[in-house]
Amino acid sequence: MGSKLVIVESPAKAKTIKKYLGKDVEVLASYGHVRDLLPKEGAVDTINDFAMKYQVIDCNSKHVDAIAKAMKKADTLYLATDPDREGEAISWHLYELLKKKGALKNKEAHRVVFHEITKQAVNDAVANPRELSMDLVNAQQARRALDYLVGFTLSPLLWKKVRRGLSAGRVQSPALRMIVERELEIEAFKPQEYWTIEADAVFDKQAFEAKLTHYQGEKLAQFTINNETGSTEAVETLNKAAEGKLLVTNVTKKQRKRNPAAPFTTSTLQQEASRKLGFGAQRTMSVAQQLYEGVDTGEGAAGLITYMRTDSVSLADEAVQEIRGLIAEKYGETSVPKSPQTYKTKSKNAQEAHEAVRPTSILRTPEDMKTYLSADQLKLPADDNRVPRHLRLRTRPPRHGPAARARDPPALPHHRSLGEGPTRTSRTVRKQQRRFRGRLARRLVHATDDRQRVRHHRGVTRGGQHPTRAPRRGRLVVRAVLRRHANDDPGRTRRSSRG
Query: Catalytic residue numbers?
Result: 307
Tell me how many degrees the CA angle 424-429-430 measures, rounded to the nearest 5. Answer: 140
Q: Pick from 206, 204, 203, 242: which is nearest to 427 by CA?
A: 242
Q: Pick from 404, 412, 373, 391: which is nearest to 499 by CA?
A: 391
Sequence-separated (6 or more) residues with CB below 8 Å from residue 42: 53
Cβ neighbourhood burial of 143 (10 Å; 0-12, 13-18, 19+): middle
Whole-Å CA distances, 71 to 62, 64, 107, 491: 14, 10, 9, 57
Phi/psi region, residue 381 (left: phi>0; alpha: psi -120 to 50; beta: rest), is beta
Q: What is the DSSP letter of 401?
A: P
Q: Backbone phi, then psi, for 349, in 5-degree steps?
A: -100, 10
Contact indicator for 311, 267 with CB cutoff of 8 Å: yes
Contact indicator for 310, 357 with CB cutoff of 8 Å: yes
Strand 425-428 vs strand 295-296: parallel, antiparallel, or unpaired? Answer: unpaired
HSE, side-chain direction, 13 A CA sphere, residue 472: 6
- Torsion angle, CA of 230/232/233/237, rounded to 10 degrees? 140
